[in-house]
Amino acid sequence: MNVLLTCAGRRSYSVEIFKQAVRPLGYTVACDSSGEAPALQIADRAFTVPPVDDPTYIDALLSICEAHDIDLLVPALEPELLLLAAERARFLDVGTMPLVSSPEVVTTCYDKLATGEFLAPCGVSVPRTFESLEAARAALSADPGGRRLVVKPRWGVSSIGLHFAEDDEELELSYRLARKQVSRSLLAQISATDAQRSILIQERLVGDEYGLDVINNLSGTYVCTLVKRKLRMRAGQTDRAVTVRDERLEMIGRVIGENLGHVGPLDCDAFVTPQGCYVIDMNPRIGGGYPFSHVAGANLPAALVAWADGRRPDPACFQMEPNVMASRDDTLVVINQKQIVVPCRSNGKVLQEVSQAA
């Protein structure tokens, strides 16, 4: 059982826990557009590939999958999910199971307007959302007290274009800046499909923030929900968290998992306020907050590997201890560039043969 982790970046921990899941019979392969990505140093084999928005990106992944007998492909970023969902059949043809949901599910999660439209009939609350600067200002004039707002891209990744506004001046500046930032990022192409509604404004919720790992099997059947309370954020990622048991949030996870039918894990962000529980984001992939569930006893990589191999996972994979607090730590990684291999190309096209890392 060999696993490919894409857009590895700084996700060294993810590479390491998948290495543990596939040993001793398999190995991990990681790729990134930068040969200096720290996580490439952790993988058994590592490759540089074009950026996600490069037309040859999918061909590069297919080359690696075919040359290295990849059984399971694990993506990391939202923009590549749409590409992988559309090209799923090509990966299956070379014997690789991409951990990606249908294009419809990916679109529902990636597009925040579609997310709200999906959650409302499920009885799940979302923050009040405005599709334009004018709509937000009109609402604020009727409710002068509700000026704590969040400006964010409709299609987002990491913290690109995310800003907080306390007054009208900050709102306008944040809105204009978000537009510029999105236009210069990998979000530019999809945002151009509906440019007038590509930046959203939402009410800023006040309460406790939680991360949910909503886990389905590879057929889209709901399995469980793992909940963490976020204690500290840094650069858009959970920096410190504690595992909890919360029946309200676990039930929300079940409702989402059963109605969405996503494949594998869904990274879900929620707020608990005096007014109730709100879901603010859904990403159909392994989220940056999953490691906090892992250190508390869960083992999603082992479950995914078992499912992909046609086996039933150990039920212990879906259990974690509550009240386990963990925090991220910074470490230095020496970059051995001789370890990184660039897939062969000819006239701009990625060939099927890929050199193996030494």
Residue 303 lies in a domain: yes
Asked if the structure places residue 345 within a domain, the reply is: yes
Q: By mean pLDDT, which of 25-29, 136-140, 320-324, 334-338 is the weakest?
A: 334-338
- DSSP structure class, residue 207: S
297 located within any domain: yes
Asked if residue 202 lies in contact with residue 178, where contact means CB atoms within 8 angstroms, the answer is no
How many other C-beta atoms are found inside a 10 Å radius of the C-beta of residue 217?
Answer: 16
Please determine, for residue 171, whether its predicted confidence score (pLDDT) is greater than 60. Answer: yes
Same domain, 16 and 78: yes
Q: Is the pLDDT of residue 348 over 80?
A: no
Alpha helices in the chain (DSSP H): 12-22, 57-67, 78-86, 88-93, 103-110, 112-119, 133-142, 168-183, 188-191, 247-260, 290-294, 300-308
- How far apart, in Å, are the Cα atoms of 345 and each of 50, 66, 184, 286, 353? 11, 15, 27, 30, 9
Q: Which residues partner with 125 through β-bridges?
A: 278
Q: CATH number, domain at 156?
A: 3.30.1490.20
Q: Which of 180, 203, 226 is the last residue of a domain?
A: 203
| Total tally of structural domains belonging to the chain | 3
Please report the pLDDT score of residue 353 as a whole number.
Answer: 32
Residue 110 lies in a domain: no
Q: Please give the C-alpha separations between residue 4 and each of 93, 263, 307, in angstroms, as whole numbers.
A: 16, 17, 16
Mark whether 221 and 296 lie in a shared domain: yes
138-166 pLDDT, tens digit per residue, is 877 766 555 689 999 999 887 899 999 98
111 within domain boundaries: no
Please tell me the predicted confidence (pLDDT) of residue 336: 83
Residues of the chain with pLDDT > 70, as a percent, come to 92
241: domain CATH number?
3.30.470.20
Kindly state the average pLDDT of the residues 321-344. 82
Task: Output the average pLDDT for the chain.
Answer: 92
**Three-class DSSP category at 219:** coil
In eight-state DSSP terms, residue 35 is T
Q: Does the residue 141 lie in any domain? A: yes
Q: Which domain holds residue 266?
A: 206-327
Burial class (CB in 10 A: 0-12, 13-18, 19+), 271: buried
Nearest to 296 by CA among 241, 215, 253: 241
Nearest to 106 by CA among 190, 40, 46, 41: 190
Tell me, yes or no, whether 302 lies in a domain.
yes
Residue 156: the pLDDT is 87
* Of 263, 354, 274, 332, residue with least CA distance to 81: 263
CATH of the domain at 8: 3.40.50.20
